[in-house]
Homo-oligomer: A and B are copies of this chain.
Amino acid sequence: MTDKIKIAIFGGSGYGGAELLRILLFHPNAEIVLVTANEHAGKAVGEVHRNLFGLTDLRFEKAPEDLSTLENVDVAFFALPHGQALSLIPQLPETVKIVDLSGDFRINDADIFKRFYKLEHTATDLQKKFVYGLTETNREQIKQANYIANPGCFATATLLALAPLVKSGLLTGKIIVDAKTGSSGSGAKAAANTHHPQRMNSFYAYKPFQHQHVPEIEQHLREVGEFASDFVFMTHSLPVSRGIFASCYLETSDVLNGEDAKKLYERFYQESFFVRVVEGSPDINWVKTTNFCDIAVNTNGRQIAIFAAIDNLVKGAAGQAVQNMNLMFGFEEKTGLILTGSNP
C-alpha cells in the first residue's frame, strides 16, 4: 500500500468522473481519497454509478471550502464543466499535480480561448505551466509536467490521425476532418439532443465551423510539425452511446502509396501501445470502453484518407488522463489501462 498515490477527483458524477472511477478504483498504484459531486454529496458512488455497485464503499463528498488543505493529495483530476477548474486549480497546494479534463487550460492564447469558450481566462500565468496531454506526441514533456491539460475527445482522435503526416512534411493543401461523436459526449445530463426517441434514428451536423476543439487542434498541430494549412473541422452526432470517428482528408505533394503511408504511421506509433494501425477502417465497435485509438491509412494518388476511432470517454478523456498520470508518476504507461473491449 505504501506505493499508492493519493488521488482527488473533482466532478465525480459526470461521465468523465464515472470513467475515472472505473479505472482508478482498480489501478494498482492509486488510492482515491476524495471524490466530489455536490448534488450527490453523501451518496455512495455505487448508487450513482450503478456499474460500480458492490465494487467500492467510496462516497461522494462536497468539494472542501478550503482547497489549500489538500496537502496529502498527490494528484487531482478535474472533470468539471468548462470554466470551473480555472478558479479552483489555483487554490490547491502547489505540491498537488493536476490533470484537467476540461478545456480550461488547453488554449495558450487568451483571446482565442475567450472567442471559443465565451469565458475570460483568469489564470494566464498558470496556463504557462500546463502541458498538453496528448500522450503519444508529448510523452517526454508529460513525464516532467505537474500540470496537464487533457485533450478534448475530438481533438484526441483528430490529432492522432493527423500528427504523423503533419510531422512528415509531405502535406500540401488544406485538411478536412469530418468527425462524429456518440451521445455520451454530451454528458450525463438529459437534454433535447440526447432524447432517446429522437436520437436513436438521428444523424446530423452541429456547430459548423465553430467547434471549440478547432483552436486546440490547430495549436498542437503547429507544435507537431510545420502546419499552416487551411483546416476545416466538422462535428456530427452519431446514434451510439460511445465512440468518436474522425475521417481526415489530406493531400500530399507527391503520390504516396498505401504501403508507405501505413509504414509511416506504424513507425510514428511504434512505441505507442494504445495506437493500433489497422487495415481499411477502424470501427468504434472495437475500441468502445478501451483506451485504444485504431487508425487506418488509405491513399489514392495524392489524396489521403485517414480514419481514427476512439472511445470518447476513455482515450478521449479518463483513460488518457490516467495514461498521463502514469507518466507523471513514473509508472508503466499502461498500468490500469488494459480495459479489454468486448466482441460484440
Contact = CB atoms under 8 A, between A and B. Distances in A.
Interface of A: 15, 18-19, 22, 25-26, 49-55, 174, 176, 178, 180, 182-184, 186, 188-192, 194-206, 208-209, 230, 232, 234, 236, 238-243, 245, 247, 249, 251, 273, 276, 278, 280-286, 288-290, 292, 294, 296, 298, 300, 303, 305, 307, 309, 313, 338, 340-344
Given A176-B249, A194-B196, A281 B205 contact: yes
Q: Which of A26, A288, A342 counts the most chain B CB atoms within 10 A?
A: A342
Nearest to A184: B197
Copies of this chain per assembly = 4
A340 B343 CA distance: 16
Contact of A284 (B178, B203, B206, B242): B203
B281 A204 contact: yes
Given A338-B26, A342-B51, A183 B208 contact: no
Given A195-B194, A305-B232, A53 B286 contact: yes
B241 A238 contact: no
A249 to B, nearest CB: 5
B53 A276 contact: yes
A126 B18 CA distance: 48
A51 B343 contact: yes
B343 A238 contact: no
A54 B201 contact: no
Contacts of A242: 197, 201, 344
Contacts of A195: 188-190, 194-196, 344
A199 B203 CA distance: 15
A285 B202 contact: yes
A273 B203 contact: no
B239 A239 contact: yes
Given A180-B203, A230-B303, A305-B232, A54 B191 contact: no
A217 to B, nearest CB: 15
Contacts of A240: 200-203, 239
27 contacts: A15-B197, A18-B342, A18-B343, A22-B343, A26-B338, A52-B340, A54-B273, A54-B276, A178-B178, A178-B249, A188-B197, A189-B195, A196-B239, A198-B241, A203-B283, A203-B284, A203-B285, A204-B245, A204-B281, A204-B307, A206-B281, A208-B280, A209-B305, A232-B303, A234-B249, A238-B239, A289-B289
A313 B197 CA distance: 12
A342 B19 contact: yes
A241 B199 CA distance: 9
B284 A204 contact: yes
